[in-house]
Amino acid sequence: MEKYFFYTLLIIIAAGCSPRIMTHDASVNFLSAVDGTITLRAIGEGSNKNSVASAQQKVITALLFRGIPESPEKFPLIGTSEGEEKAKHPEYFNSLYDGQRYKSFISSTIPTTSVYRESGSRKTAFDIKVNVNALRSDLEANKIIRKFGY
């Protein structure tokens, strides 16, 4: 009896706990911008394959929700209210991140360092070129942002 009560209580407590919010550092810096594309240096974390995906996702997130200082994209493409926007358009963002649609906006990903360890995790720096015009058009076509004008 006590055993069942203990497990039931454990499950209820575990479910009641608020989810842990993981905040990753942006680690995205501007390199150059030419004719609708932007090249950024980002730090990817994890094994080889994971570090590429991590760096690419950081770049896309920075462009969508943070903006890149010193670049023509100082303003975020969507806005700073990341959670609110993701909650409004879950299908789009699930497809973009989990469905890896973000890859279709990336023109090239070139590693600029070999794997190194920092704060206990494996990291690699990449120079990532993003087709910003295509990304903006995609956001407009899916009504995530307004087209230019009213």
Partner 1 sequence: MKKTLFSLTALFVMTSPVITVYAQQDVALVSPSVNTVQPKIMVIPYTKEGEDLRTILEADVNKRIALTKIKEAFDSRGFTTVDFVAKLKAAKDNNIFTSGTQSDIKSQIIQMSGADVYVQAEVDVLTGSSGTGVTLVLTGYEASTGNSLANKVGTSGKFYTDDIGKLASKAVESCANDFLNVMQAKFTDIVNNGKSVIVDISFDANSSVKMSSEPGSSGLPLSDQLEEWMGKNAFKNNYHIQGTTDTKMIFDDVRIPLKDANGNNYSSNKFALELFKFFKTINLNPAKDIKSNTIFITLK
Q: Which residues form the interface with partner 1 (CB under 8 A)?
A: 1, 4, 7-8, 11-12, 14-15, 33, 36, 72-75, 87-91, 133, 136-137, 140, 143, 146-150
Q: At closest approach, how far in Å is the CB of 114 from partner 1? A: 34
Nearer to partner 1, 120 or 149 (CB): 149
Nearer to partner 1 by Cβ, of 43 and 144: the residue is 144
Query: Cβ of residue 102: shortest distance to partner 1, in angstroms?
Result: 19
DSSP state of 63: I
Taking the complex as a whole, the smallest distance from the CB of residue 134 to partner 1 amounts, in Å, to 11
Beta carbon nearer to partner 1, 15 or 22: 15
In terms of CB distance, is 24 or 88 closer to partner 1?
A: 88
Distances (CA, A) of 59 to 12, 14, 70, 150: 38, 34, 15, 28
- Minimum distance, C-beta of residue 147 to partner 1, in the bound complex (Å): 6
